[in-house]
Amino acid sequence: MRPSAEAIADLALVVGAIALGIFLLVTGVLLATMWRYRLRPGAPEPRQIAGDLRLEIGWTVAPLLALAAVFVLMLGTMREIGASLPIAADTDRIPLRVTVVAHQFWWEYRFDGGAVAANELHIPVGVPVELDLVAADVIHDFWVPALAGKSDIVPGKTNHLRLFARQPGTYEGACAEFCGVQHAWMRLVVFAEPEPEFDRWLAVQGAARQAPAGEAARGEQVFLRNVCVSCHALRGTGAAGNGAAPDLTHVGGRTTIGTGVLRNDAAAMRAWLADPQRYKPGSAMPLVRLDPGDLDALVAYMESLH
Amino acid sequence: MTTAEVAAVPRQQAGDRYALWLRTVDHKDVGILYLLTGVAFFVIGGLEALVLRLQLAAPRQGVVDPHLYDQLFTMHGTTMVFLVMVPLLIGFANYLVPLMIGASDVAFPRLNALSFWLTLFGGLLLYFSFVAGGAPDAGWFSYAPLAERAGSATSGVDYYILGLGVAGAGTIIGAINLLVTIALLRCPGMTFGRLPLFVWMVLVTSVLILGAYPAFSAALVMLFLDRHLGAHFFDGAGGDPLLWQHVFWFFGHPEVYIMALPAFGIISEVVPVFSGKRIFGYRFMAGSAVAIAFLSFSVWAHHMFAVGLSTAENIFFAVSSMLIAVPTGVKIFNWLATMWGGRIRFTVAMLFAVGFIAMFLIGGLTGVTLAVVPIDWQVTDSYYVVAHLHYVLFGGTMFALFAGAYYWWPKMTGRFLSERLGRAHFWGTFIGFNLTFLPMHWLGVQGMPRRVYTYPAGVGWEGSNLAATIGALVLGLATLVFLFNAARSLRGAPSAPADPWDAWTLEWATTSPPPTHNFEAAPAVRSARPLWDRKHPDLPDR
């Protein structure tokens, strides 16, 4: 088994080579014609030719044959990718199934067993992962080019996409269907890692938050006192959220803030919490005025949530 | 006569001149009004594109805020399709079809004026949205549920619905008018087998408009019901967002050919004349357009390969989309065969026509790659598609429109455009166009989605984006050269004879510009090239 992106890349190379060949042939003839038959002094009146049936048949049939070849190649690739997603209903054959919920403008991942993650997906290397794609509001699209082709995520419908990573690594992607004002910052990242590492990550995502200490503990109180809790869930604190904002239980372990808009470190977290609309105008995250001490505590808390 | 009366006369005359434009029903005047409207909106849509390119020149810029960016790219696409390419092509059709078939006007001159005014006021209604609380911001294809009230709360989408509904009514009426004109007003001897290919393309395009636009109008009404009367045609709760896509693209893909076929027609007039040869394979050129028209109604879901259709549906639409390449290829081969063995005069019109063939070829080939379902799964909704569609609509249709502009300018104005400035315009356009859109193929393959107002640094997209922005500026400068050329020509004295290019179709048999009733004596024809027959009595076409 290989990532479907590799199968598509192979197909695209062949089809691209055919297209390039046709382009070179036709423009070659065009340029040669332009040069050879350019107006020159004393050139005689051209012969007036109405057409040629054999030529017409020839340049109707030749492209048909090329397209037939492309079509057969396409069917082969579709078969390899498993065009009839999802793989029936026999879930036994699917070692790992993840429900992806696309929101304006962030990603939610739900695993069997209760683990929940946001924006960054981890998958085990060498294991096919079946994604059930559902939309929370408008149409989105899950696209990680180096792993697989894209699939739209349409309200009222569950789409399916299979990810398979052969190599460990960081695979970047993005929402690929225009979904509103912050479509640009609906980036996504897939971390493919060896299975033990993935299992550890999954266990962490399934667990409640680690009890904070020191300034972070004060930060938790700030979090619970403010409007944060009306949207964000944070397991272990009683904050259940409303499902419209990312689960923050392990936010400190993510590499970015705001679905890709900022790299996740304390300074960026502080800037983000101080004025989210500056970095992601139009997103649902409101500006919550905090005094500097509370803000520092909240930042310490967020960064402690690994 | 008092001084005041004397001074009032010229003003009165000037006023009369404008009033004439307001109440004209002459197909040539209406055609010119269409063309002027198209050019004006081309400048506006082009400026919108320039702002988009400036914003994307480098990562994380703040030239415009994301709300405005979304309005601008929506208006850019909507403007270029509905208010630039369609009006320009209908403008040429209006001006040329009666002349080419030897008629004195279209079948319904008053209706013709109504078509134009509906198109113009539809456009103005659409643009009024900017001052009425915000332009439409859900993309030119207005996908539900983003285009529903929950997704787009300003009145922008409402102006999109009303403006395009009104302009679309004008387009439908115009198509009926052109159809009836071609069916009934051909001069003696002008059989369907002798129609100039431009007229053939207008004929097929009119049928496409009648098949496609009503579906779009219906979809707009349904969207309006959703937004204002609580209907649920297209939302995810009870309705189906994919229904909008089906209906929209049932209109939207024929619309591509509505914009392409008349362009093919222009090329099929310009290439033979400047090659000194009759068109190669006339019947195949007309027949391939009919084949394209039929196929174009069965390819729409290739815009939807990623939405999760069944494998059978995907394969059906892949096959039909690939098939449409065959008649399109036939056209390209016949243009080449027309040039082969000719005596080619590289006027600016011919340069644009040759540029069209090469650029449209690229757009056509990338179109076939997009018909291959798995490849589409990778590159759809990425910048690859932005590149593809601009090779079809700019490298294709706009190049053909420029070819037509240089070719028919003397006929319409009685004056010539400067060929020297024209060559600068051509090379600026050719280079600027490729610099803008060629790198976008690569951006799409690298993973850059469409319709993003900005992008992260360090993912390898900077160079191509900067190149595209520089190319867009070059394109803008080239367009200024064209506008300057046009303005300069109009200030000069009339100098164009009836037939400046040694051409063959009937519009060149009358003065430049033609009199109100087009022809002093009713023409009669015996072949597809009446003027050739007249010039070569020894060697008439059969």
pLDDT in tens, chain B (542 residues): 444 444 445 555 667 778 889 999 999 999 999 999 999 999 999 999 999 999 999 999 999 999 999 999 999 999 999 999 999 999 999 999 999 999 999 999 999 999 999 999 999 999 999 999 999 999 999 999 999 999 999 999 999 999 999 999 999 999 999 999 999 999 999 999 999 999 999 999 999 999 999 999 999 999 999 999 999 999 978 899 999 999 999 999 999 999 999 999 999 999 999 999 999 999 999 999 999 999 999 999 999 999 999 999 999 999 999 999 999 999 999 999 999 999 999 999 999 999 999 999 999 999 999 999 999 999 999 999 999 999 999 999 999 999 999 999 999 999 999 999 999 999 999 999 999 999 999 999 999 999 999 999 999 999 999 999 999 999 999 999 999 999 999 999 999 999 999 999 999 999 999 999 999 987 889 999 999 999 999 988 87
Residues from chain B contacting residue A145 (CB–CB below 8 Å):
378, 445-447
- pLDDT the model gives residue B8: 46
Is A26 in Cβ contact with B332 (below 8 Å)? Answer: yes
**B345 vs A: CB within 8 A:** yes
The answer to whether the CB atoms of A138 and B151 lie below 8 A apart is: yes
Q: What is the pLDDT of residue B14?
A: 66
| pLDDT value, residue B13 | 67
Nearest to B250 by CA among B200, B302, B183: B302
Q: Which residues of A touch B325 (CB under 8 A)?
A: 63, 67
Q: 10 Å Cβ neighbour count for B308?
A: 20
Interchain CB distance below 8 Å, B374 and A81? yes
**CB contact (8 A) between residue B372 and residue A11:** yes
Q: State the pTM of this model.
A: 0.96
The confidence score (pLDDT) of residue B157 equals 97
Residues B198 and B100: beta-carbon distance below 8 Å: yes
The answer to whether B83 and B45 have CB atoms below 8 angstroms apart is yes
> Is residue B319 within 8 angstroms of chain A, CB to CB?
yes
**Do residue A150 and residue B377 have CB atoms under 8 angstroms apart?**
yes
Distance from CA of B156 to the nearest CA of A (A): 14
Nearest CA in chain A to B138: A180
Contact A26 B319 (CB under 8 A): no
pLDDT of residue B10: 53
Is B372–A181 a contact, with Cβ atoms under 8 angstroms apart?
Answer: no
pLDDT for B512: 96
For β-strands A159-163 and A120-124, DSSP reports them as unpaired
Q: Which residues of chain B does A150 touch, with a Cβ-Cβ cutoff of 8 Å?
A: 306, 377-378, 380-381
d(CA A245, CA B67): 21
Decide: residue A54, CB within 10 A, 0-12 exposed, 13-18 middle, 19+ buried.
exposed
Query: Which one-letter amino acid corresponds to residue A16?
Result: G
Find the closest chain A residue to B279 by CA distance: A50
Distances B216 to B165, B223, B244, B249 between C-alpha atoms, Å: 8, 10, 10, 9
Burial of B73 per CB tally in 10 Å (0-12, 13-18, 19+): buried
Q: What pLDDT is attached to residue A113?
A: 87
Query: What one-character DSSP code corresponds to residue B449?
Result: B
Q: How many CB pairs under 8 A join A and B?
A: 249
B384 neighbourhood in chain A, CB within 8 Å:
none
Contact B143 A38 (CB under 8 A): no
Residue type at position A244: A
Q: Which residues of chain A are within 8 Å of residue B538 when distances are taken between CB atoms?
A: none
CA dihedral A54, A56, A60, A61 (to 10 degrees): 0
Q: How far apart are alpha carbons B106 and B179 in whole angstroms?
A: 10
Binding-face residues of B in 379-418 toward A, CB within 8 A: 380-382
Low pLDDT (below 50) residues in chain A: 83-84, 86-90
CB contact, 8 Å: B67 with chain A? yes
> Could you give the residue ranges of the DSSP H alpha helices within B230-281?
241-275
- With a CB-CB cutoff of 8 Å, which residues 246-275 of chain B face chain A? 275
Residue A1, pLDDT score: 81
In chain B, positions 22-51, which contact chain A (CB-CB < 8 Å)? Answer: none
Strand-by-strand arrangement of the A106-111 sheet = A116-118, A106-111, A96-103, A129-135, A159-163
Candidates A19, A77, A155; nearest CB to B374:
A77
